[in-house]
Amino acid sequence: MDLHDIRQDYSQQSLSEADCCAHPLEQFQKWLTEAIHAKVNEPTAMNVATVDQHGRPNARIVLLKEVTEKGFVFFTNYHSRKGRALSQHPYAALTFFWPELERQVRVEGVVLQLAAEDSEAYFRSRPYSSRIGAWASEQSSVISSKAVLMTRAATFGAKYLLNVPRPPHWGGYLIEPELVEFWQGRPSRLHDRIQYLREKGLWIKQRLAP
């Protein structure tokens, strides 16, 4: 198969500055709601890119768990590779891709750890097995076999039969956006790109060349 021949012409919708809300988080909520209603596969899945202590980028798919008036929230193990990277360089880039709607959203911003009580509240809402899994998995560490993980899960399951406390190394992050771009696919690769850039506390909308 020749990858050069794989092409798709986008033509579902267009996007103008006038179409977009004044605030990027409001516009994101609008698009996310449309993605959910359109039954897009994994609409909350986002690529989270970080930079390590050597300046090398690393990316992975994580699920968005909340959009607040301040930004985007996800949860993870603070000792994981991304957690270590964020402790050294508290900046991240997010990418959402909804091919069914021919849309993409890019976010760049500062990353903050959520307050402990907010992480506690979400952790309590997770299924029992997921709470045990947060204890069992020393995320991003090398293990000799799957049996190691299953044994740890059984151990913590026996220890916490009913009430599973939140591990101190597990919690949420808030990405406060400084740049948000909305991309709408268009014919002939003349895509619509509307960027929100925060300057001195105000959001400025700009059209970018595709």
* Residue 122 among known ligand-binding residues: yes
* Residue 63 among known ligand-binding residues: yes
Taking Cα atoms as reference points, which of 16, 204, 27 lies closest to residue 105? 27
* Residue 40 among known ligand-binding residues: no
Concatenating the DSSP letter of every residue in 84-131 gives HHHHHS-EEEEEEEEGGGTEEEEEEEEEEEPPHHHHHHHHHHS-HHHH
Known catalytic residue at 189: yes
Which of 84, 124, 152, 189 is labelled catalytic? Answer: 189
* Residue 11 among known ligand-binding residues: no
* Residue 193 among known ligand-binding residues: yes
* Residue 139 among known ligand-binding residues: yes
Q: Burial of 49 by CB count in 10 Å (0-12 exposed, 13-18 middle, 19+ buried)?
A: middle
* Residue 146 among known ligand-binding residues: no
Return binding residues for substrate: 7-10, 65, 122, 126, 130, 189-191
Return binding residues for FMN: 60-65, 75-76, 81-82, 104, 139-140, 183, 193
Residues marked as catalytic? 189
Return binding residues: 7-10, 60-65, 75-76, 81-82, 104, 122, 126, 130, 139-140, 183, 189-191, 193
